Amino acid sequence: PAAVPIKVRNVQDHLETRVVVQGWVHRFRLQKGLAFLTIRDGSGLIQAVLSGDLAKWKVTQQLTLESTIAIKGMVHKLPEGKTAPGGVELQADFYQVIGLAPAGDDSITNKVPSDASPSLLMDNRHLALRGDALSAVMKVRAALLKSVRRFFDEENLTEVTPPCMVQTQVEGGSTLFKMSYYGEDAFLTQSSQLYLETCLPSLGDVYCIQESFRAEQSHTRRHLSEYTHIESELAFISFDDMLNHLERLLTKSVEYVLADPIAGPLVKQLNPNFVAPKQPFKRMEYIQALEWLNEHEIPNEEGEKFKFGDDIAEAAERRMVDTIGVPIFLIRFPAEIKSFYMKRCKDDPRVTESVDVLMPNVGEIVGGSMRMEDYDELMTSMKKEGLDPTPYYWFLDLRKYGTCPHGGYGLGTERILAWLCDRFTVRDCSLYPRFTGRCKP
């Protein structure tokens, strides 16, 4: 019979059928005169068995790992006790090489824990992406973005696409990427927040999934120079409403990923001990965090006891959340260590209606707050920060043309993935990561 072209993902619909699979030679093993090929077509893996002449000379002489082939044969369900991806095997009766790969470059395709140096793997990211773990993370990433969009849709938020080239800063001048925009100064956006705020009166609650850029000088496992920022902005909400919304976002999008037929099993494979977060999340005030850190003798940046106004740096934050072991909403940070736009708490104007969501093994994955909605208060805060209000006229106009209580947050896609997929660094969660000294491939 003529072979039916299939994607490996759908193989279960084609049992006892003659099919043709086109893909790449992922693995290769010769055993007792049989050749076992694992073929990868991007949608999954399938084992093909070649016997007789097919196994003998053609395979040994021509086929290298990562060569492209078309392979035809019957698909059989494997008997109990034999294992292969999907519990099936393709009994090959014909194959054709489409593109040969050079022999001997196996370590950089990253299919097994490799002894290749990290920078060699980064130079060969295009090949390393073919590896099991990296490609699995990318599939989970796709499912995560889909799940997040589904959640926002259920909550009736409208998706917008703000610009990446801007003339304003959001999160401080030290991490701005400057560029020349037809001779004028411009920056790559640090956050789409200010633009999202301007959409509230026209579109209502909004979100975006947009690249953000940070010229991070530090070399850490959780900082990228470019990352995918999931941000939303909500009108007429209270700080509590926002925290509840964030809880729903995190629990539901994870629930949807785990229920996804492709991504769910991949998460279990990458992170067997993953525990889905449950509502309500632990809530902890900044001031309580300082007490916790001091009780546990974890020092501040100067090696001293924490005092009000100290930044909780990455190492201390990690030790705290790793010890506590569950997601934490860290709230009410002092105004002096947070961004200029954050609204002060009514009961204590030293602190802000702000939140960082901390996850075990990663630390901060979300930063959010209620926004100053009063024009004069915001102007005072910007001046204190040394910001020239001129290029912010459009952002300030929101406070002139009908202001409203509102708030929002930003979620780092690579950080939530590092948590979900148990990756050591966010670099493993970005397709082509950019960080200090790395802008290729």
Q: Which residues bind Mg ion (CB under 5 A)?
A: 367
CB 350 within 8 A of CB 401: no
User: Beta-carbon neighbour count of residue 15 at 10 Å?
Assistant: 13
CB 405 within 8 A of CB 374: no
Among Mg ion, ligand 4AD, none, what does residue 408 contact (CB within 5–8 Å per kind)?
ligand 4AD
Q: What does the alpha-carbon distance between residue 303 and residue 103 come to, in Å, rounded to a whole number?
A: 53
Among Mg ion, ligand 4AD, none, what does residue 124 contact (CB within 5–8 Å per kind)?
none
Task: Report the nearest approach of Mg ion to the CB of residue 111 (Å).
Answer: 36
CA distances (Å), 372 to each of 157, 196, 325, 343, 352, in order? 22, 14, 33, 4, 10
Among Mg ion, ligand 4AD, none, what does residue 322 contact (CB within 5–8 Å per kind)?
none
Task: Report the nearest approach of Mg ion to the CB of residue 87 (Å).
Answer: 45
Residue 125 vs 223, nearer CB to Mg ion = 223
SS3 117: coil
Task: Report the nearest approach of ligand 4AD to the CB of residue 194 (Å).
Answer: 8
Among Mg ion, ligand 4AD, none, what does residue 409 contact (CB within 5–8 Å per kind)?
ligand 4AD
Residue 202 vs 218, nearer CB to ligand 4AD = 218
CB 231 within 8 A of CB 208: yes
Task: Report the nearest approach of ligand 4AD to the CB of residue 318 (Å).
Answer: 14
Angle (deg, nearest 10), helices 263-270 and 132-154: 130
CA distances (Å), 96 to each of 47, 93, 149, in order? 16, 11, 41
Residue 89 vs 356, nearer CB to ligand 4AD = 356
Return residues touching ligand 4AD (CB under 6 A): 170-171, 191, 193, 214, 216, 223-224, 227, 229, 231, 364-368, 408-410, 412, 414-415, 426
Residue 131 vs 410, nearer CB to Mg ion = 410
CB 88 within 8 A of CB 77: yes
Task: Report the nearest approach of ligand 4AD to the CB of residue 430 (Å).
Answer: 9
Task: Report the nearest approach of ligand 4AD to the CB of residue 229 (Å).
Answer: 6
Among ligand 4AD, Mg ion, none, what does residue 216 contact (CB within 5–8 Å per kind)?
ligand 4AD
Residue 121 vs 242, nearer CB to Mg ion = 242
User: Beta-carbon neighbour count of residue 349 at 10 Å?
Assistant: 9
Torsion angle of alpha carbons 234, 237, 242, 243, nearest 10°?
A: 180
Residue 73 vs 367, nearer CB to Mg ion = 367
User: Beta-carbon neighbour count of residue 2 at 10 Å?
Assistant: 7
Residue 26 vs 214, nearer CB to ligand 4AD = 214
CB-based closest residue to Mg ion: 367
Token reading at 392: 């912010």
Task: Report the nearest approach of ligand 4AD to the CB of residue 197 (Å).
Answer: 9
User: Beta-carbon neighbour count of residue 308 at 10 Å?
Assistant: 11
Residue 363 vs 367, nearer CB to Mg ion = 367
Task: Report the nearest approach of ligand 4AD to the CB of residue 205 (Å).
Answer: 13
